[in-house]
Structure 1
Amino acid sequence: MSTDIDYYELLGVERTADGQTIKSAYRKLAMQYHPDKNAGCKDSEAKFKAVSEAYDCLKDPQKRAAYDRFGKAAFQQGGFGGGQQDFSGFSDIFENIFGEFMGGRGGPGAGRTAARRGADLRYDMEISLEEAFAGKAAEITVDVSAACEPCGGRGAKPGTSARSCPTCGGAGKVRAQQGFFVVERACPTCHGAGEVIAEPCAACHGEGQVDKRKTLSLNVPPGVDEGTRIRMTGEGEAGARGGPSGDLYVFIHVKRHPLFEREGTTLFARCPISFTTAALGGEIEVPGLDGETHQIRIPAGIQSGKQISKRGVGMPVLSGRGRGDMVVEIQVETPTKLSSRQKELLEEFRATETGDECPASHGFFSKLKAALG
């Protein structure tokens, strides 16, 4: 029987057949051509071996994937066959199929990590609410690893260069066969860099980086809030072996304000007023973060807890136009120190009360009397 017959044709299934279909087809053919049922028949024996070989390949997802792409060439040089097995040929085929998903080489030197981007850094900055309102130009000092100037961050002595690692051939990785699998790990000689430095730079001792304190200018835009993140591109740690630097992220923290609380672009303030202003109405002045004094009109008869909005005098919109609102919450203050004349006037006022002046309290006591009979 020819050994070139397609495995799918041997089992009588489509190339898209699932595992269960392939298994059922094999069992049917195996029972038909089993040597015990066809004693002495050479053709049946050959057919049984052929369908067994086909099923052994197609039942394994990895073997099947290799067969679908390369045919029986995937199992030459031993491959998944019996006897003395040499998996080196199949490991290359397997990597071509699955390397993109499992970190395969993808070509000479693809695993090399000589040039690597530097790490990002974080800096926490505390500002006042006034500074958050107006914005701020500031200078910050950070300690970073910077690229070594004499060697340009390469780590090699000026005038020399790194050479390809003799252990891994510049790949940065070495491979070892363990049974069915090819194990890949970082090269122990170059530690994944793919190159070694014979003459290290005296300034950085071959590291390509030196510790440095930098002073940076930072513009905090108006309207920043708690947790706002400002990115300073390329001001993070230097990259390894000449790689690009990381970024510096400045996180803003806004201190508590003695008068205002903030919610987005809205400013909230609690303002105590006298009971006479609450009763008769009037105006109060509230200083704003913009340095202006804002007039708030108080309607007569206002109660504690009432909120009054002043449009367009709140926090600026970050990276936009306009401002939010200021919301003033009224707190009516009862006087604790009265002169004799003030007490006389209040006594005269109480003598003229009818109950209509304070409908809420009058209604409450009326209901209470009715409830008690």
Structure 2
Amino acid sequence: MSTKDYVEKDYYKVLGVPKDATTAEIKKTYRKLAREFHPDANKGDAKAEERFKDISEAYDVLSDDKRRKEYDEARSLFGTGRMRPGGPGGNGYSFDFGDLFSGTQGGGAGGGIGDVFGGLFNRGGRQAQPRRGADVETEVTLSFEEAVDGATVPLRMTSQAACRSCSGTGAKAGTTPRVCPTCVGAGTVSRGQGAFALSEPCRDCKGRGMIVDDPCPDCHGSGRASSARTMQVRIPAGVQDAQRIRLKGKGAQGERGGQPGDLYVSVHVTSHPVFGRKGDNLTVTVPVTFPEAALGGTIDVPTLNGPAVKLRLPAGSANGLTLRARGKGATRKDGTRGDLLVTVEVTVPQQVDGEALSALEQYRDATASEDPRAALFKAAEGA
């Protein structure tokens, strides 16, 4: 947060609360506004997103007693950020403090008025910002049953975390890092570009805000080290092969109180010898005999995790007919289940003799006048 922001932005007005509002009142108002303007509730609305950022920025300052006190003192000292009319003869003039506050830290002789009031504005009006942890990628292989019903699996991950030897300071035991004189601990410097001041990471401290003179031998001054850990992760039911799952906040730890990164899990699902899958539905192919297909009947069908179900096979069922067993498929996100799609496959015996052969010959003779290919030849002749 820059000194210019402290002076020019009215955070009380942004939240719509009086200057003497209590912390509880500020928190209650913030929650109401945050729900109203949250990006998830206003898809594609740039104005709502900007309003949400302003609300969050105001709450970050006013909800912290120390920062709120500094903000109130800054507003009291400099007013709205522009000097009042005055001067000899009452000639009015205005002066924007932004030029003084932006300064030329690291790029010139003067650090601006922010250097004078360094104690009031957290070392020159800026402080090193929290840094979000890195995202972590990993993979997991599930069985077909685990993917359908969900499973809790152990995942071993290696990510960057604070070095245990120096507790993340980057300095050798017994020593401490010093504040970077170039950025005054902010981690960024402002460089003038005409009427604008552009902020960029400080080159001397590489954006950390601190300089380590005697680095830690384990992390070589970075303050970060590889850390291996095993955690139990719940894979939701209904996950599919090659799906990528995001687990928020399960990645690498942040720096200076920053939020942890996210964990991305790439899922691989092994095939099943009997069942297949189409979206939320499971599939299975069930063989039936010729008499069952011709005469109809009730057939038993296996399910993935449970007893077999009985399905009614209509008389005259053709090869490839699909039946449906409702609620016997994969688990959906809402807890309901898809269906089991049963494909009928008419089997033909490899060898026929005895009574079976005699019966088939009689059936053949009885149906000799019926040619199932007659319509095919007729259609070909008419083409």
2:249–2:259 contact (8 Å) kept in structure 1:
no
2:129–2:186 contact (8 Å) kept in structure 1:
no
Could you report, residue by residue, the CA deviation over 1:108-150 in whole angstroms, capped at 9, with x for unpaired residues? 6666546312101121212121112333232221111222234
How far apart in 2 are the matches of 1:272 and 1:188?
A: 72
> Paired residues, what number?
278
How far apart in 2 are the matches of 1:287 and 1:172?
A: 64
- Seen in structure 2, the aligned counterparts of structure 1 residues 196 and 180 have a Cα distance that, compared at 3 Å, is same
Q: How does 1:94-243 map to 2 (within 5 A)?
A: 112-113=127-128, 115-158=130-173, 160-177=175-192, 182=197, 184-226=199-241, 227=243, 229=245, 231=247, 233-234=249-250, 236-241=251-256, 243=258
**2:158 aligned counterpart, secondary structure:** strand
Report what 1:272 is aligned to.
287
Q: How does 1:321-332 map to 2 (within 5 A)?
A: 321-332=335-346
1:153–1:241 contact (8 Å) kept in structure 2:
no
- Seen in structure 2, the aligned counterparts of structure 1 residues 258 and 192 have a Cα distance that, compared at 3 Å, is same
- Seen in structure 2, the aligned counterparts of structure 1 residues 150 and 144 have a Cα distance that, compared at 3 Å, is same
Alpha-carbon deviation of 1:202?
4.1
1:281–1:299 contact (8 Å) kept in structure 2:
yes
Report what 1:7 is aligned to.
none
Which one-letter code corresponds to 1:304 in the other structure?
N
- Seen in structure 2, the aligned counterparts of structure 1 residues 186 and 364 have a Cα distance that, compared at 3 Å, is same
Alpha-carbon deviation of 1:198?
3.5
The more displaced of 160-169 and 301-310 is 160-169
How far apart in 2 are the matches of 1:321 and 1:181?
A: 55
Alpha-carbon deviation of 1:172?
2.6
Q: How does 1:298-309 map to 2 (within 5 A)?
A: 298-309=313-324
Which one-letter code corresponds to 1:349 in the other structure?
Y
Which one-letter code corresponds to 1:133 in the other structure?
V
Could you report, residue by residue, the CA deviation over 1:6-36 in whole angstroms, capped at 9, with x for unpaired residues? xxxxxxxxxxxxxxxxxxxxxxxxxxxxxxx
Which one-letter code corresponds to 2:247 in the other structure?
R
How far apart in 2 are the matches of 1:369 and 1:73?
A: 94
**1:123 aligned counterpart, secondary structure:** strand
- Seen in structure 2, the aligned counterparts of structure 1 residues 180 and 337 have a Cα distance that, compared at 3 Å, is same
Report what 2:14 is aligned to.
none
Which one-letter code corresponds to 2:294 in the other structure?
A
Aligned residues with identical type, % of pairs: 35
**2:320 aligned counterpart, secondary structure:** coil
Report what 1:317 is aligned to.
332
How far apart in 2 are the matches of 1:186 and 1:255?
A: 47
- Seen in structure 2, the aligned counterparts of structure 1 residues 242 and 179 have a Cα distance that, compared at 3 Å, is closer
Alpha-carbon deviation of 1:369?
10
1:251 aligns with 2:266: yes
Report what 1:346 is aligned to.
360
Report what 2:375 is aligned to.
364
Could you report, residue by residue, the CA deviation over 1:151-172 in whole angstroms, capped at 9, with x for unpaired residues? 3323234565433211222333
How far apart in 1 are the matches of 2:380 and 2:235?
A: 63
Aligned partner (choices 349, 353, 360) of residue 335 of structure 1? 349
1:172–1:194 contact (8 Å) kept in structure 2:
yes
- Seen in structure 2, the aligned counterparts of structure 1 residues 193 and 131 have a Cα distance that, compared at 3 Å, is same
Which one-letter code corresponds to 2:132 in the other structure?
R
How far apart in 2 are the matches of 1:137 and 1:247?
A: 18
**2:167 aligned counterpart, secondary structure:** coil
Gaps of 5+ in 1: 1-66, 76-88, 96-104
1:133–1:315 contact (8 Å) kept in structure 2:
yes
**1:270 aligned counterpart, secondary structure:** strand
CA-based RMSD of the aligned residues comes to 3.7
1:278–1:301 contact (8 Å) kept in structure 2:
yes
How far apart in 2 are the matches of 1:263 and 1:277?
A: 27
Report what 1:86 is aligned to.
none
How far apart in 2 are the matches of 1:202 and 1:139?
A: 32
- Seen in structure 2, the aligned counterparts of structure 1 residues 111 and 119 have a Cα distance that, compared at 3 Å, is farther
Gaps of 5+ in 2: 1-81, 86-91, 104-113, 115-120
Could you report, residue by residue, the CA deviation over 1:246-281 in whole angstroms, capped at 9, with x for unpaired residues? 232323232233332222321122223222221122
**2:155 aligned counterpart, secondary structure:** strand
How far apart in 2 are the matches of 1:157 and 1:273?
A: 76
Q: How does 1:11-90 map to 2 (within 5 A)?
A: 73=94
Could you report, residue by residue, the CA deviation over 1:275-317 in whole angstroms, capped at 9, with x for unpaired residues? 2221122333332110422223322210122211111211223
- Seen in structure 2, the aligned counterparts of structure 1 residues 281 and 159 have a Cα distance that, compared at 3 Å, is same
TM-score, normalisation: structure 2: 0.61
**2:240 aligned counterpart, secondary structure:** coil
**2:234 aligned counterpart, secondary structure:** strand
- Seen in structure 2, the aligned counterparts of structure 1 residues 181 and 297 have a Cα distance that, compared at 3 Å, is closer
Report what 2:45 is aligned to.
none
- Seen in structure 2, the aligned counterparts of structure 1 residues 293 and 242 have a Cα distance that, compared at 3 Å, is same
1:114–1:195 contact (8 Å) kept in structure 2:
no
